[in-house]
Amino acid sequence: MMLKPTTINLDDSHVMAIVNLTPDSFYGASRHHSIDDARSTVERVVKEGATIVDIGGYSSRPGAPEVDTEEEWRRVQMGLEAVRRADCEVVVSIDTFRAEVVRRAHEEFGEFIVNDISAGEADGEMIATVAALNLPYVAMHMRGTPETMQSMTDYDDGVVAGVCNYLKHRAEELQRAGIAHKNIILDPGFGFAKSVAQNFELMRGMDALRELGYPLLIGVSRKSMIYKPLGITPEEALPGSLALAWEALRGGSAVLRVHDVAATKQIVELSKHYYR
């Protein structure tokens, strides 16, 4: 049995549930170590209102160590098998920058969204692979690697202009390489090569991001831009995550990538009444 088709209306707001198959993701509750554990989570988050589940086998937290392709694939395969066994009506996303992982996943499991933190720059085969398979593609802004990115936070014209210019030109390059406009989703990369202050500046600048003309994926759930200013831990950062989820929706986010689906789904539903 293959995964469900990736057809999804991004004119609506969606909750993407984070399902990590990594031992070192920054938020411990998002880690899963077996198919049964991940399947249970998938079944729960779908009931709570997630329309997308994001399977990750490579931690991209600041300072995260390298994981080789075979180990990443082993983890991703386990997560995808968990979704298949759950047999839920949900779209799947794979959080990877490796074309080989995409090819193997497509051959064994069918369609999914590719969620690439490097926007295709970490693997020279990624863009051609996505174009050939006609898959939806999330291109995120980042500099360097998870190990080096927090030393690369200087933006000559400010972080909003820097991120917008990068994503605009990258989206144009993706289309020239054969990825259809309708298949492109942009992610400004909160927490990736950005200081806490720059993250908030970027949040305030979401109007400029929306004007690029692509659906936006926003991932701020339990990140350091919340817990560092408050002097708390990621485990204590749910209220701040929900506050920024509301701001992301106000700024035009199509997809919220989160750890806490039920609580975020309430925010999404309330926003429909507020902004209608």
Active site residue 204: no
Q: Which is the catalytic residue, given 75, 170, 223, 265?
A: 223
Alpha-carbon distance of 249 to 239, in angstroms, equals 16
Query: Of 148, 56, 39, 140, which is closest to residue 101 (Cα–Cα)?
Result: 56
Q: Which is the catalytic residue, given 257, 265, 272, 276?
A: 257
Rg for the chain, CA atoms, rounded: 17
Please give the structure tokens belonging to residue 148: 């080096």
Structural contact between residues 219 and 194, judged by C-beta atoms closer than 8 angstroms: no
Alpha-carbon distance of 55 to 77, in angstroms, equals 9
Alpha-carbon distance of 242 to 35, in angstroms, equals 29
Alpha-carbon distance of 29 to 79, in angstroms, equals 15
Active site residue 257: yes
Structural contact between residues 107 and 86, judged by C-beta atoms closer than 8 angstroms: no
> Residues with catalytic annotation?
223, 257
